Amino acid sequence: MALTRRGLGLGLLATGIGGTAGVALLGPERIERAVTGAGPDPSTLWGFIGGEKVDFVRNPKVRALLSRRYGLALDARRAGSIEMVGDPALTRQQPPWLWPAHSVMTQMARSNGLPVRRDEVVFTSPLVLYSWTPVVAALETAGFVERQGGIHTVRMAPLMEAIERGLAWRDLGVPELYGRAVVTTTDPTRSNSGFSFAALLANLFAGEVASPESLARDGARLRSVFARMGYKEASSGTHWNSYLTEGMGGKPLIAAYESQLVEFILANPARWASLQSAAVRPVMLYPTPTVTSVHPIISLTAQADRLVEALTDPELQDLAWSEHGFRGRLGAVGRGGPAFEGLSPSPAPLMPMPDAPTMLTVVDRLRTPT
């Protein structure tokens, strides 16, 4: 049957009415996707994530890019890196993916029987120390800290030997601090920043990369250092917040990630500017040597395989540095981002992490009461 002008007009009118009704049934987000050509509703994947990356996955730019380009939305649940690969209370929930804070965790996940399908380093952040200007000045006078070009480095072996011998804060010339000097960390049996500090100490005590044989000799020393710390938080993010809120009196010297100060400065420029004129202000120090935290995304299900590709997207890599202070997969800084006194372009020298069997021995020894 021939199509008349009247028939065409009625058809267009009906289409218009039907289309209007269809649009009325769509929400504003779906209308935007229809207009912009964006994909369907993103698939939500839940999994466990280290606390230091929570703000990254909450970043609206990160969420929008994952949704638009990869059709993904992340339901990220905070857990310690050691817990997510080894605590039965978490692993029996069968998470589709894990995002711990070190590649050793991939080995541990496999050792614990998790069905690792794919893993890929997303970004890195070196382990550093944080303190406060009066403490840093005292450590510099005592010869433990050196400053060059605004960058502070710590001679870790002599410092830890002095701490082991019972060095007191008053001996350093900081009488307002009570008791013996100590570096505090997260719980090394639950969280990666404490775990990484334990690896660094095990290496320093061994004089090389630690092994089960060196731990048989040095295990008691390692336990003693951690026992002196007292209470230890389970999350790197919580530990960092405690450092900022408790100040020099509560947290005079801690081990954490370089990215945490960088992210704080980027998120709080006014507060950081005011801190620069304070008599007591935060200072970042690079241990010599140190270890670096390598953050792998681990896929445990077929549905999560595409998350590996998504999180290694170059645009996300740039956002990780420019807004959160995470270095790239090879340890280099990305495009844009912060520039402030005390940030090292290269945090070398780095020591290798001991292998997974050795680090499992470290965790077992630190779980053993002193």
pLDDT in tens, 179-215: 999 999 999 998 889 999 999 999 999 999 999 999 9
Please provide residue 123's backbone torsions phi and psi, each rounded to the nearest 5 degrees: -160, 180
Q: Please, which pLDDT band fits residue 165 given cuts at 50, 70 and 90?
A: very high
Radius of gyration of the chain (CA): 25
Residue 212, preceding bond cis, omega within 30 degrees?
no
Q: Please, which pLDDT band fits residue 334 given cuts at 50, 70 and 90?
A: low
- Per the CB < 8 A criterion, the answer to whether 370 and 223 are in contact is yes
> What does CATH list as the number for 125-293+340-367?
3.40.190
Q: Please, which pLDDT band fits residue 45 given cuts at 50, 70 and 90?
A: very high
Query: How far is Cα 164 from Cα 224, in angstroms, rounded to an integer?
Result: 8
39-124+294-324 and 125-293+340-367 agree in CATH topology: yes
Q: Please, which pLDDT band fits residue 266 given cuts at 50, 70 and 90?
A: confident
- Per the CB < 8 A criterion, the answer to whether 203 and 359 are in contact is no
Query: How far is Cα 288 from Cα 155, in angstroms, rounded to an integer?
Result: 5
Q: Is 79 helix (H, G, I), strand (E, B) or coil?
A: coil
Q: Please, which pLDDT band fits residue 302 given cuts at 50, 70 and 90?
A: very high
- Count of other CB atoms within 10 angstroms of residue 260: 26
pLDDT digits (tens, 9 = 90+) for 57-69: 999 999 999 999 9
- In the block, tokens 């987000």 appear at 29
pLDDT (0 to 100) of residue 7 = 42
**What is the CA angle 134-140-143, rounded to 5?**
145
Superfamily grouping for domain 39-124+294-324: Periplasmic binding protein-like II (3.40.190.10)
Please provide residue 191's backbone torsions phi and psi, each rounded to the nearest 5 degrees: -125, 145
Residue ranges per structural domain of the chain: 39-124+294-324, 125-293+340-367
pLDDT (0 to 100) of residue 3 = 40
What is the sign, positive or negative, of the torsion defined by CA atoms of 164, 165, 168, 172?
negative
Note the helical H segments in 148-235.
156-164, 192-206, 212-227
Q: How many CA atoms lie within 13 A of 197 on its CB side?
A: 30
The separation between the first and the last C-alpha atoms of the chain, rounded to the nearest angstrom, is 93
Task: Report pTM.
Answer: 0.82
pLDDT digits (tens, 9 = 90+) for 83-111: 999 999 999 999 999 999 888 899 989 98
Short-list 345, 336, 313, CA closest to 266 = 336
